[in-house]
A and B are shown apart, each in its own frame.
Chain A
Amino acid sequence: MTSRKSVLVLGGSSDIGRAAARAFAKAGYDVALAGRDVAALEPDAADLRARYDVEVGLHKFDVLDTASFESFIGALPALPEIVISIVGLLGVQADAESDLAHATAIMRSNYEGPALILGLFAERFLARGSGTIVGVSSVAGDRGRASNYVYGSAKAGFSAFLSGLRARASRGGVHVVTVKPGFVRTRMTEGMKLIGPLTVEAPVVGDAILRAVENKTDVVYVSGKWRLVMLIIKTLPEAVFKKLKF
């Protein structure tokens, strides 16, 4: 057993998950990766071990299987110091407008599942009196847009959950970070038209998460430009906003 700090990454096989795992491993943390397909996580585990000489554990986790959450946490070899949820599903807005199953999957993957699992961790962290919870939400949750409001509304719910949890947990020594990455060049956004100057690569998000945890930041817009963009978007009057095409 090492006495090193540990981080658990839920959604470990996503590009941002991998980047976050690398950032923490580089900083000397032992890492646990959790995802639906454990075998698919093996190469990432080997990568972290080879690069940073840290301990890496793998765990099966499905964000839609809320019934398994308690036993998932119970089966972890130890309660981590930090838990990061990067789980999410962008989905296809046009499909979600008529396909209830698809809309439900988007809502559950971006809100219900992440909020419930982080809520369970929060209880255990509060009982211990320490810990950090990181939720990767989205600028899309700052205001519903015609082009992706199913996803956006779920992220809005998740952001609200995190801010409420932060208010409560901070009194018990537990810190909650909300990350709003903006456009990131990942598998999720492949083929989408992203605005160059507002787009970052996954490692930038990974480093930003590490910094936010170490500096105890509450809400991180990964690129400072987004904070401004979203401030403008949030303050546009509804009458104007509904006419905008985006």
Chain B
Amino acid sequence: MTLVSGWGRFPVVDSDVLRPRSFAAVGEAVSAGTVARGNGRAYGDAAIGATRTLTMTGFDRVRSFDPATGRIRLEAGVLLSDLIDTFGPRGFLPFVVPGTRFVSVGGAIAADVHGKNHHCEGGFGRYVDSLLLRTGQGEVIEASRDENSDAFFATVGGMGLTGIILEATMRLRPVETGWIRERVISASDLDAAMRALEAGDAATYSVAWIDCVARGRDLGRSLIYLGEHADRGELAEGADAFPVGQGSRLSVPVDLPSIALNRTSVRAFNELYYRMGARRAGGSHVVSLYPYFFPLDSVGGWNRIYGKRGFLQHQCVIPQAGARAVLGEILDRVARRGDASFLAVLKKLGQGDGILSFPLPGYTLALDFPVKGDILNFLDEIDRLVVAAGGRLYLAKDARQSRATFEAGYPALRRFNAIRKSLDPAGNIRSKLSQRLFDEV
């Protein structure tokens, strides 16, 4: 048994951790209470088996690649960082990337991750054509939109609960360069931020960084980042078409004491961040894809900033219609509390693809909180606002929502469970998350 946790380092639980070396070994390793784990970037308990966790990052081979179409077949443990470094210089990038590139293809499919382009291009699963899935029952099946389509749509966004993804065939996006033409807009309050995101609907990429310490008239003040793939003609003379991805230049070597993150330091950081960004607002400029998509990746192990006890991310999505009022209320409560995260992220989402995919047309807000004091009660209150507005929480970030919140947010759960049951009648595939939220006990 090993102590395991997700990226948020809460909860920390015991699990048997195995690292199979062959697909046959994967099959042998599945026993009652097993789930796959990619690179452990889910925040909570999604990638921890009820009793046994199978680490998949050793499966990192590309099977085939067609440079004419960008179609690629690969093993599920390949990291997006590896894909970007390998195929970026050949003119191809993943269609969808989350806020860190250190996630595996399997993890990206299982969470149907969204990027800054979800509002117009959808999620990771949209670019997956087929999957090789090892079900809980022990079969290895190929699933696509036409073949075993129930298994396909339950696996995309299914948080690993339909079985172990072994391989996937997906499409990569042809790009001329690895640079992004970025435009920064500063918004003085929440209304302005939402207007700017609406106006940015036509942009391929859009996201807002909200200062969640600002209150009163400044509530919701933010910086909106719009982006487009730059073509060669937009690059500075002599610039490489593909920028070099730096490793982490900084890293947080030890857990910081909890006092490091307090009202004053967070307020100062947010003030500085907002002012520096506001100065860049207006015109557009070309930036490397790395800082544009993965601003946090340049600080290795930044999850240690929150101290030993870990932290929680609260990411909800609120349907378009009621979004303004609820987001205002949440941000106000968070600002009044004062101990919230550094920056909050606000972005628009479109329709999700998988049966259990998180996205729905509306706004998603992501906030970080250190684990301390009455935070669990506070988040329960926020959840009530989310549920009342017809919203839901993102399972890849969750470590604590109640069954009631989950069931209210995911009405397709019944259908998902029926498919799960048909793939795994004995119920072998189980994670700590599924035990907490789905499985009858």
Please report A residues at the B interface, Cβ cutoff 8 Å.
Answer: 26, 43-44, 46-47, 50-53, 187, 190
Q: B73: nearest residue on chain A (CB-CB)?
A: A50
The smallest beta-carbon distance between B316 and chain A, in angstroms, is 36
Q: What are the interface flags for B1-30 relative to A under an 8 Å C-beta threshold, 1 for contact and 0 otherwise?
A: 000000000000000000101000000000
- Cβ 8 A contact of A46, one of B21, B63, B67: B63
List of A residues within 8 angstroms of B62 by Cβ = 46-47, 50-51
- Cβ 8 A contact of B19, one of A44, A51, A190: A190
Interface pairs (25), CB distance under 8 Å: A26-B86, A43-B61, A43-B63, A44-B61, A46-B61, A46-B62, A46-B63, A46-B64, A47-B61, A47-B62, A47-B63, A50-B62, A50-B63, A50-B64, A50-B65, A50-B72, A51-B62, A51-B65, A51-B86, A51-B87, A52-B86, A53-B67, A53-B90, A187-B21, A190-B19
Give Cα A26 to B87, complex, Å: 11
Give Cα A202 to B19, complex, Å: 15
Give Cα A52 to B87, complex, Å: 9
Give Cα A126 to B62, complex, Å: 37
The smallest beta-carbon distance between A29 and chain B, in angstroms, is 15
Which parts of B69-97 form the interface with A (CB within 8 Å)? 72, 86-87, 90
The smallest beta-carbon distance between B254 and chain A, in angstroms, is 12
Give Cα A58 to B61, complex, Å: 17
- 6 closest cross-chain pairs (CB), A and B: A47-B61, A50-B65, A50-B62, A47-B62, A51-B86, A50-B64
Give Cα A51 to B72, complex, Å: 10
List of B residues within 8 angstroms of A190 by Cβ = 19
Give Cα A52 to B90, complex, Å: 9
List of A residues within 8 angstroms of B19 by Cβ = 190
List of A residues within 8 angstroms of B72 by Cβ = 50
Please report B residues at the A interface, Cβ cutoff 8 Å.
Answer: 19, 21, 61-65, 67, 72, 86-87, 90
List of A residues within 8 angstroms of B67 by Cβ = 53
Q: A47: nearest residue on chain B (CB-CB)?
A: B61
List of A residues within 8 angstroms of B90 by Cβ = 53
Q: A22: nearest residue on chain B (CB-CB)?
A: B86
Give Cα A187 to B86, complex, Å: 24
Q: Is the interface of A mostly helix, strand, loop or mixed?
A: helix
Give Cα A230 to B99, complex, Å: 40
The smallest beta-carbon distance between A53 and chain B, in angstroms, is 8
Give Cα A44 to B64, complex, Å: 11
Give Cα A92 to B114, complex, Å: 47
Give Cα A187 to B25, complex, Å: 14
Q: B65: nearest residue on chain A (CB-CB)?
A: A50
List of A residues within 8 angstroms of B21 by Cβ = 187
- Specify which of A44, A47, A190 lies most central, judged by the most chain B CB atoms within 10 Å of its CB: A47
List of B residues within 8 angstroms of A52 by Cβ = 86
The smallest beta-carbon distance between B72 and chain A, in angstroms, is 8
List of A residues within 8 angstroms of B64 by Cβ = 46, 50
A-B contacts besides A46-B61, A50-B62, A190-B19, 17 pairs, CB < 8 Å = A43-B61, A43-B63, A44-B61, A47-B61, A47-B62, A50-B63, A50-B64, A50-B65, A50-B72, A51-B62, A51-B65, A51-B86, A51-B87, A52-B86, A53-B67, A53-B90, A187-B21
Give Cα A50 to B62, complex, Å: 6
The smallest beta-carbon distance between B360 and chain A, in angstroms, is 36
List of B residues within 8 angstroms of A51 by Cβ = 62, 65, 86-87
Q: A203: nearest residue on chain B (CB-CB)?
A: B82
Q: B61: nearest residue on chain A (CB-CB)?
A: A47
- Specify which of A44, A50, A187 lies most central, judged by the most chain B CB atoms within 10 Å of its CB: A50
List of A residues within 8 angstroms of B86 by Cβ = 26, 51-52
Give Cα A187 to B87, complex, Å: 27
Give Cα A44 to B62, complex, Å: 8
The smallest beta-carbon distance between A23 and chain B, in angstroms, is 12
List of B residues within 8 angstroms of A50 by Cβ = 62-65, 72
- Specify which of B62, B63, B72, B86 lies most central, judged by the most chain A CB atoms within 10 Å of its CB: B62
Q: B90: nearest residue on chain A (CB-CB)?
A: A53
List of B residues within 8 angstroms of A44 by Cβ = 61
Give Cα A50 to B60, complex, Å: 13
List of A residues within 8 angstroms of B61 by Cβ = 43-44, 46-47
Give Cα A2 to B362, complex, Å: 54
List of B residues within 8 angstroms of A43 by Cβ = 61, 63
The smallest beta-carbon distance between B74 and chain A, in angstroms, is 8
- Specify which of B21, B61, B67 lies most central, judged by the most chain A CB atoms within 10 Å of its CB: B61
Give Cα A187 to B19, complex, Å: 9
Q: A52: nearest residue on chain B (CB-CB)?
A: B86
The smallest beta-carbon distance between B2 and chain A, in angstroms, is 11
- Specify which of A26, A46, A51 lies most central, judged by the most chain B CB atoms within 10 Å of its CB: A51
Give Cα A47 to B64, complex, Å: 7
Give Cα A53 to B61, complex, Å: 14
Give Cα A102 to B111, complex, Å: 47
The smallest beta-carbon distance between A157 and chain B, in angstroms, is 30
Give Cα A26 to B62, complex, Å: 14
Q: A187: nearest residue on chain B (CB-CB)?
A: B21
Q: B62: nearest residue on chain A (CB-CB)?
A: A50
List of A residues within 8 angstroms of B65 by Cβ = 50-51
Give Cα A47 to B87, complex, Å: 13
Give Cα A44 to B59, complex, Å: 11
List of A residues within 8 angstroms of B63 by Cβ = 43, 46-47, 50
Q: B21: nearest residue on chain A (CB-CB)?
A: A187
Give Cα A7 to B63, complex, Å: 21
Give Cα A190 to B55, complex, Å: 13
Give Cα A47 to B67, complex, Å: 14
Give Cα A242 to B87, complex, Å: 52
Give Cα A50 to B19, complex, Å: 25
Q: B19: nearest residue on chain A (CB-CB)?
A: A190
The smallest beta-carbon distance between A234 and chain B, in angstroms, is 28
Q: A26: nearest residue on chain B (CB-CB)?
A: B86
